[in-house]
Amino acid sequence: MKDKLEQLFYFGLGSALMAKEKIEQAGEAARSCSGESDRKAREFFDQAVSKGSEEREQVKGRIKELLKEAIDELGLATRTDVEALRAEVAALRQGQS
């Protein structure tokens, strides 16, 4: 568990640093575009937003994977497990009535 949490921490830290680098690169590119037309600047902005969105989804997916691994390693009950237990308890209560 400790290893998984440590990996999750380092993953988050690494992702934040990578995002910072990307933002700095985008800022440099935006400064170089300042003399160009509005259309090119808008295209650059749209591309940056698109790439940021894609990166967000990748990071979100990886975090979900790490959390699932940690939950499995700890043996924690999932929502499906809890719902199944609730249904079983409800069935047992109906059987006693």
- The reported pLDDT for the residue numbered 71 is 86
Show me where the domains of the chain are located: 2-96
Provide the token pair at 96. 């006693």
Gyration radius (Cα) of the chain, Å: 23
- The reported pLDDT for the residue numbered 93 is 93
Helix/strand number for the chain, H first, E second = 3, 0
CA dihedral 16, 18, 24, 28 (to 10 degrees): -160
pTM of the model: 0.45
- The reported pLDDT for the residue numbered 90 is 94
| pLDDT tens readout for residues 14-63 | 777 787 778 777 777 766 655 656 677 677 777 877 777 788 888 888 88
CA–CA separation, 27 and 94 (whole Å): 64
CA 10-50-26 angle, 5° bins: 70
